[in-house]
Amino acid sequence: MPRAKRSMRSMTAVVSACAVPALLSGCGGGGAASGSPGPSAQAASGTTASTPATADAAGGPQPAPGSPGTRQPADGGTTPRAGNGGRCHTSELSASVGRNDPGAGQENFPVVLTNTSSRTCTVYGFPGAAFVDAAGHQLGPDPLRESASTPRAVTLAPGGSAWAGLRYSNPQISGARTATPAALLVTPPDEREPLKVPWTAGAVPVGGNASSVFVTTFRPGTGP
């Protein structure tokens, strides 16, 4: 009987030692448990507009779930609503930035995604966005989601477009510290690879007073 008790204690120790690591990896002949890949970096080099940007360790915004208006990367981290053909992938889209529509001390730009594929697809949620310099390093913090912006599915036929607003306070009025980006990286909702668009609208706020940049959810068309 003493030998049997020792055997039971030994088995209990083995099970206990396996149970905790099993939360992180497989235990027993199956090898390590698989998991979701970590987010890829978004900052990029290269000059072609509206093409997938090369990943860079400097990092830009990534898809991450959260409530609108929280200080998180401005990405497509909302529950996608698939339409005809499912969601639009980065490789099926081009990106552009429309004309500034200033007002009340604010600079307002439409960020436009256009379906360049031959199938119908859907965008739903917020874009990822990051200002970068010529070396691909991000300038300023990640934009914030506009809390009053409610996501809705936008179905894009081939050639169709959707736009999201990008706004910030005029730095000359707010007194924010500024930098002049070389490009804006735009990541479609629920995608990891960004599209790179040359930035030609001058300095943007990157720090100090009233330096936050905000984005809205996508709506049909190319702008307000």
> CA nearest 77: which of 66, 92, 88?
66
**15 compared with 99, residue with greater pLDDT:** 99
Give me the pLDDT at residue 124, please.
97
CA dihedral angle for residue 154, residue 63, residue 46, residue 102, rounded to 10 degrees:
60
Helix (H) or strand (E) holding 12: helix 2-19
pLDDT tens readout for residues 174-190 = 999 999 999 999 999 99
**51 or 46, greater pLDDT:** 51
Strands 93-97 and 128-132: unpaired
Over the chain, what is the mean pLDDT? 74
Distance of alpha carbon 159 from alpha carbon 94, whole angstroms? 10
Whole-number Å distance between alpha carbons of 164 and 112: 7
| pLDDT, tens digit (0-9, with 9 covering 90-100), for 75-126 | 444 444 545 579 999 999 999 999 999 999 999 999 999 999 999 999 999 9
Q: Is the pLDDT of residue 220 over 90?
A: yes
- Give the model's pLDDT for residue 167: 97
Which residues, listed in sequence order, are joined to residue 165 by a DSSP beta bridge?
110
Residue, of 69 and 92, whose pLDDT is higher: 92
pLDDT band at 199 (very low <50, low <70, confident <90, very high): very high
With H, G, I as helix, E, B as strand and everything else as coil, classify residue 206.
strand
Query: In this predicted model, which residue has the larger pLDDT, 14 or 168?
Result: 168
Window from 40-44, 134-138, 192-196, 211-215 with minimum mean pLDDT:
40-44
| Cα–Cα dist 205/140, whole Å | 7
Asked whether residue 45 carries a pLDDT value surpassing 50, the answer given is no
The confidence score (pLDDT) of residue 52 equals: 53
Structure confidence at residue 149 (pLDDT): 87
Q: Is 197 helix (H, G, I), strand (E, B) or coil?
A: strand
Rounded-to-integer distance, Cα 184 and Cα 143, Å = 12
Residue 134 has pLDDT above 90, yes or no: yes
- Indicate the range of 14-28, 87-101, 131-145, 191-205 predicted with least confidence: 14-28
Residue 62 has pLDDT above 60, yes or no: no
pTM of the model: 0.66
